[in-house]
């Protein structure tokens, strides 16, 4: 038989173009079936055509599958970005809720401060009034003490005048 003995797989560089190969009736693939495959005779052109046929049959589907997988991967990335944005929005909403509670708390504390300030102003007014009253009472007591002192001085003077004085001899 006229065939080409093939020792291993053919690389694409070894495959001839279809136009360059001419088929003869004797060039066929023979496989000894009684035991393990020992000698395989293959026509390179037949192997090439079978490979081309196999590739032409499955390659478009595989390429479509590859494009579909790429589109799915791209869509998945888009969905992941959208999901990340939604998560960010939820975090911002939680932050806004936290801010709202902080503003509410700040308002409560502001009201407490305003009330404390009013109480401090009221206490300041009361202490000022008490200080004025205490000053008036002190002045009044000093005045009474001074009047008593004058009264006593007058009484002492009167008693001195009432005391008999020896007459002067002339």
Q: Which residues pair with 119 in a beta bridge?
A: none
Its pTM surpasses 0.85: no
For residue 30, being part of any structural domain is answered with: yes
Residue 120 in domain: no
Identify whether 52 is part of a domain: yes
Residue with tokens 């799915």: 72
Tell me how far apart the alpha carbons of residues 113 and 125 are, in angstroms, rounded to a whole number: 18
Provide the number of structural domains found in the chain: 1
Residue at 44 is within a domain? yes
Give the range of the structural domain holding residue 30, as residue numbers without chain letter: 4-65
pLDDT tens series, the chain, 170 aa: 334 444 444 444 444 444 444 444 444 444 444 455 556 677 888 889 999 999 899 999 999 999 999 999 999 999 999 999 999 988 888 888 888 889 999 999 999 999 999 999 999 999 999 999 999 999 999 999 999 999 999 999 988 888 877 777 76
**Residue 42 forms part of a structural domain:** yes
Q: d(Cα 29, Cα 44) in Å, to the nearest integer?
A: 10
Q: Give 146-166 pLDDT, tens digit per residue.
A: 999 999 999 999 888 888 777
CA 43 to CA 26: how far, in whole Å? 10
- Phi (first) and psi of residue 65, to 5 degrees: -65, -40
pLDDT one-digit tens code per residue, 112-133: 999 999 999 999 999 999 999 9
């Amino acid at each position: 038989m006229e065939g080409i003995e093939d020792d291993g797989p053919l690389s694409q560089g070894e495959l001839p173009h279809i136009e360059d190969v001419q088929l003869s009736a004797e060039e066929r693939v023979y496989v000894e079936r009684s035991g393990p495959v020992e000698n395989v005779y293959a026509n390179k052109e037949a192997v090439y055509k079978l490979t081309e046929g196999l590739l032409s049959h499955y390659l478009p589907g595989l390429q479509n599958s590859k494009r579909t997988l790429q589109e799915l991967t791209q869509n998945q990335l888009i969905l992941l970005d959208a999901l990340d944005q939604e998560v960010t929005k939820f975090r911002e909403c939680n932050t806004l809720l936290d801010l709202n509670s902080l503003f509410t708390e700040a308002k409560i504390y502001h009201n407490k401060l305003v009330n404390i300030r009013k109480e401090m102003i009221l206490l300041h007014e009361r202490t000022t009034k008490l200080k004025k009253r205490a000053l008036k009472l002190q002045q009044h007591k000093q005045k009474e003490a001074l009047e008593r002192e004058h009264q006593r001085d007058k009484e002492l003077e009167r008693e001195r005048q009432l005391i008999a004085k020896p007459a002067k001899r002339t």
